[in-house]
Structure 1
Amino acid sequence: MKKLIMMVLWSISVCTYGQQATGAKAARPNIVYIMSDDHGYQAVSAYGYGLNKTPSIDRLAKEGALFTTATVTNSLCAPSRAVMLTGKHSFINGKVDNVQHFDWNQDNFPKLLRKAGYQTAMVGKIHMDGLPQGFDYSAVLPDQGDYYNPDFIINGVKQQIHGYVTDITTDLALKWLDNRDKSKPFCLLYHQKAPHREWMPAERYYKKYTKMTFKEPETLFDDYKGRGTAAKSAEMNILKDMNWADDDKIRPEVLKELGIHSLLKWDTVAYNRSLGRMDPEQRAAWDAVYDPINEDFKKRYPTMSKEDLMHWRYQRYMQDYLGSIAAVDEGVGELLDYLDKNGLTENTIVVYTSDQGFYMGEHGWFDKRFMYEESLKTPLLIRYPKEIKPGTKITSMVQNLDFAPTFLDYGGAKIPADMQGESFRKLVAGKTSKWRDAIYYTYYEYPSIHMVKRHYGIRTDRYKLIHFYYDINEWELYDLQKDPHEMHNVYNDSSYRTVREEMHRKLDELRKKYKDSDANDQKYIKAYLSATLKKK
């Protein structure tokens, strides 16, 4: 009898353990990783810059955490995405610029989560060659993608979908969520094209935003006197280097009439191609708003000074750029509502970020690439009700390098020893304050569009050291506490000699830690020049 009772108790314990194990596996968090393209932190209202309103994205900060010093390792679209996927610096994963091939055969975190029992999907923009690996489902834009009536490659099959790209990307993501295998935890990479150049908002938003006026940054008319060759020679000034047709939406025939010549051959080609994708109804709605802008510009242009033109071009830029973000925010709201309605909110990690920062007129610039703050830092907001307290603020320097190990940590999957990032799970949950005291950055794509010099460097909480190399050899040092806009290079200031020496020591340490070297620089210079020569 005693033996029988023991057997029954043993059977109950086994069943109970099995149920707990199954329940624990099922309770692993879902992951929704939202990435937009070129969305600067200044254009997320939770960061307090007052440019625009992003109420849905702000929900993640209110209900979770906002990172004030999230940074990238390489401020360029495809390289940033490769770092995000692999948890390795560009010089390790091989995708150092937009030219080099990305090897999908290497490990990435979706592959590893999939092996661990997750169902995975990627929807939207990835901007890397080859069919994405690691996903049960993929619906991606070829190359940069188009704003209107875009093509998508769905599980390897290309098809055109009628509508606006941001809305379509959201619809495809929600459709996948509805049809997924609900017995498994899921990881969804939901990636928007917007607000990438050429900034074409949805009809409902360009009608609104083209009537708005936005506050100019205080460094809009920067003369770069406090910096070296790199800042002075970059070609990303709003007045001098922004395209007139595809960026400002001035018709080619108006430019010809006014005697304005585009600097880049693809300006009018891109303009005609983008608008050429519209159906008659879409084009009529567009012309009804942008034709009056063209007519007004024709009248004003002959008497406009350079300062007037800079003011005008800045407003045109912001109207379309911020108008493009409005639909992204709307899509985030739809996704959050879906999670609420389907009882998924409590057990789903939702991340919002961008592939890098972006200039919105600071230093007179648009685009990214530099290690200066506006392009180095990126928005990062994360919500996970089970572990993250509402209203949390994180000032530690996390990087896109850290996403892969963090997601693997949350998903209970083993983090490969060769991943260079660190999981910030305990950091954001308030279980540790221990974190890195410096971050490492590289940029390789030169000579190329925007002509931003090759450089690498480090940033600490207060200081930043940058080395520009290849066709120049210049160092820059900034005191971010005294000079947050990075207007004055103090590298040769004798009062910063001790700081300079310490920053050089830290730089050497990080280059050794991450396995970077001058040999890597030379390797990728040769690879880039070889690839660009082949294109010619």
Structure 2
Amino acid sequence: MNKYARYILIGAIAILQLFAIKSAYTQAPDKRLNIIYIMSDDHAYQAISAYGYGLNQTPNIDKLADQGVLFKRAYVTNSICGPSRAVMLTGKFSHVNGFTDNHSTFDGNQQTVAKLLHNSGYTTAVIGKWHLVSDPQGFDYWNIHPGQGDYYNPDFIENGVRKRVEGYSTNLVTDFTIKWLDQRDKSKPFFLMYQQKAPHRNWMPEPKYYHLFDSIQFPIPANFFDDYSTRTSAAHEQEMEIARHMKDTYDLKLAFDLPKEKQQGYNAIWQNMYDRLTPEEKKKWEEAYKPSNDAFYKANLSGKELALWKYQHYMKDYLRCVQSVDDNVGRLMEYLKANGLDKNTIIIYTSDQGFFLGEHGWFDKRWMYEESFRTPLIVKWPGVTNKKTVTESMVQNVDLAETILDMAGLPIPGDMQGKSFVPLLKGKQKGNVHDALYYHFYENQEHKVAKHIGVRTDRYKLIYFYEKNEWELYDLQKDSSEMHNVYNDAAYSKVQGQLKQKLQELKKQYNDPVPEKIQ
């Protein structure tokens, strides 16, 4: 064989070896763990029994905590639905990812955790509530509610095709999720965002829970009749009080079919929701709600008695919706176990933020006060978190993208603004992930909550309502319910100065341009 033939033969062998290596690599199973990110909407940590508030029982979510890490101090950067979702996807604060309030549109062309996982070989899906206006990107499959979604016979947009589906939203999201899990590319690990509409306002339970809690009277929060006497004007001007601002039809379901002349505003929204029910569903609904409505009108309540009746009515419907969420977490976990996926799938359970369950007399979220600012977070990681662990470490939803990438063994982009808390989950880190948290709420429209920024440390919280130039300061060790604003208390002058300095530092660290000056 001459040297040229030998070179050709050696070259051919080398090419064949490269093909063989590539073939073996592409055919080798990807053994990285699957990741399911479960987000419910407006699910208060007080309404998860693992957190110990005693309002209800959530056995299936509790099982995740029994084999995972329960975070008692997980927080958000901006307590409202769409912005919180954008922060989680991007690992960036609202002013950086561009989705500052629910009137924004998410720029889907930007970097997200879903795209990074997809590009690394994960098959990806998002099912349920999306609430970011633009179409999802970075997902092999998406099947989402348009906007807020509906509880009964909701619309879904499946990979761009919109259709109405008969059934109850919380169950349907799980149906579609299980169907996708059955049909996915099983040669790849998966990243699934399983996102429920419930228990978002206006709290329409499924029929089997219409009478759950009928015999229960829920305890009234100690500050339910808060008069905001030490707070700034912001607390006085809000429009989210259970007593004064809940709507008779939309929220409290005190009427069903409304005459045309009354179908304006929230009444029109309610009528559209109610008209989604089939005649049979309407019959069941009216059979369930009419007796209590008749009793309410006969009682002719006013003042505090009326406020307390509204509170009980709200709590029962809210927690009935939570019960369906918990049921469906159980359904999904049973599917994973039956299909051999429970041992190689990480589960993250959270909400888009916290929610007021009567504290300060309120419903809804938005505020930097604890019930709104703080969110439930439970992480179950097979082989890493095998028994219940409760942590007081402060983490934030801006950390989730980096944590998920770290779980998948992927590099974390330098422009993300959070911190991976994987070392904490693995027991390699003690203490706080953050020594101080930064917050910014932008939307002074629905419920009239003033725009504000703030900082929270282990013990203190400073809030600045920058369009009003008003401040609130709380000593959380002495005043966990945030009833006593000590901003003007001379005993806290040093603390006030330290917190203002920290707020300035965090604002600069995260490159937040608003407000331009802190006075």
Query: TM class, shorter-chain normalised?
Result: over 0.9
Is 1:462 equivalent to 2:459 in the alignment? yes
Which residue pairs with 1:181 in the alignment?
Answer: 185
Which residue pairs with 1:430 in the alignment?
Answer: 427
Q: CA deviation at 1:239?
A: 0.7
**Matches of 1:56 and 1:73, distance apart in 2:** 28
The secondary structure found in structure 2 opposite 1:489 is coil
Contact 2:257 2:271 (8 Å CA) reproduced = no
Is 1:413 equivalent to 2:410 in the alignment? yes
> 1:52-67 counterparts in 2 under 5 A?
52-67=56-71
Contact 1:389 1:429 (8 Å CA) reproduced = no
**Matches of 1:49 and 1:520, distance apart in 2:** 41
Which residue pairs with 1:11 in the alignment?
Answer: none
CA-to-partner distance for each residue in 1:47-101, whole Å, 9 max, x for gaps?
A: 0000111000011111111000000000000000000100000000010001122
Amino acid at match of 1:88: K
Q: CA deviation at 1:414?
A: 2.0
Amino acid at match of 1:371: M
Structure 1: tracts of 5 or more residues without a match: 1-13, 523-536
Which residue pairs with 1:96 in the alignment?
Answer: 100
Aligned length: 498
**Matches of 1:459 and 1:474, distance apart in 2:** 17
Deviates more, 1:412-421 or 1:480-489: 412-421
Contact 1:200 1:324 (8 Å CA) reproduced = yes
Amino acid at match of 1:170: T
Percent identity of equivalent pairs: 52
Which residue pairs with 1:72 in the alignment?
Answer: 76
1:345 pairs with 342, 347, 359, which one?
342
Which residue pairs with 1:488 in the alignment?
Answer: 484
Contact 1:38 1:195 (8 Å CA) reproduced = yes
> 1:29-428 counterparts in 2 under 5 A?
29-251=33-255, 265-301=264-300, 304-428=301-425
Contact 2:258 2:271 (8 Å CA) reproduced = no
Which residue pairs with 1:443 in the alignment?
Answer: 441
Contact 1:394 1:428 (8 Å CA) reproduced = no
Structure 1 pair 387/250, CA: closer, same or farther in 2 (3 Å)? Answer: same
Structure 1 pair 26/251, CA: closer, same or farther in 2 (3 Å)? Answer: same
Contact 2:466 2:515 (8 Å CA) reproduced = no
**Matches of 1:245 and 1:416, distance apart in 2:** 48
Which residue pairs with 2:8 in the alignment?
Answer: none
Structure 1 pair 51/138, CA: closer, same or farther in 2 (3 Å)? Answer: same
Which residue pairs with 1:474 in the alignment?
Answer: 470
Which residue pairs with 1:505 in the alignment?
Answer: 501
Structure 1 pair 521/175, CA: closer, same or farther in 2 (3 Å)? Answer: farther
Amino acid at match of 1:328: V
Q: CA deviation at 1:415?
A: 1.3
CA-to-partner distance for each residue in 1:389-426, whole Å, 9 max, x for gaps?
A: 41111211111101111111111222111000111111
Q: CA deviation at 1:334?
A: 0.7
The secondary structure found in structure 1 opposite 2:212 is helix
Structure 1 pair 39/24, CA: closer, same or farther in 2 (3 Å)? Answer: farther
**Matches of 1:389 and 1:219, distance apart in 2:** 38
CA-to-partner distance for each residue in 1:152-198, whole Å, 9 max, x for gaps?
A: 00000001110000000011011111111111000000000000001
Contact 1:89 1:420 (8 Å CA) reproduced = yes
Deviates more, 1:149-158 or 1:341-350: 341-350
Amino acid at match of 1:382: V
Contact 1:91 1:520 (8 Å CA) reproduced = no
Contact 1:254 1:294 (8 Å CA) reproduced = no
**Matches of 1:89 and 1:149, distance apart in 2:** 35
**Matches of 1:358 and 1:464, distance apart in 2:** 18
Deviates more, 1:285-294 or 1:203-212: 203-212
CA-to-partner distance for each residue in 1:441-473, whole Å, 9 max, x for gaps?
A: 000001x11000000001011100000022x11
**Matches of 2:399 and 2:112, distance apart in 1:** 12
Structure 1 pair 60/18, CA: closer, same or farther in 2 (3 Å)? Answer: farther
The secondary structure found in structure 1 opposite 2:346 is strand
Which residue pairs with 1:526 in the alignment?
Answer: none
| TM-score normalised by the chain length of structure 2 | 0.92
Structure 1 pair 32/23, CA: closer, same or farther in 2 (3 Å)? Answer: farther
**Matches of 1:204 and 1:253, distance apart in 2:** 22
Structure 1 pair 144/462, CA: closer, same or farther in 2 (3 Å)? Answer: same
Contact 2:256 2:274 (8 Å CA) reproduced = no
Structure 1 pair 272/389, CA: closer, same or farther in 2 (3 Å)? Answer: same
Which residue pairs with 2:11 in the alignment?
Answer: none
Q: CA deviation at 1:213?
A: 2.4
The secondary structure found in structure 2 opposite 1:96 is coil
Q: CA deviation at 1:144?
A: 0.5
Amino acid at match of 2:387: P
Q: CA deviation at 1:130?
A: 1.4
The secondary structure found in structure 1 opposite 2:290 is helix
Q: CA RMSD in A?
A: 2.3
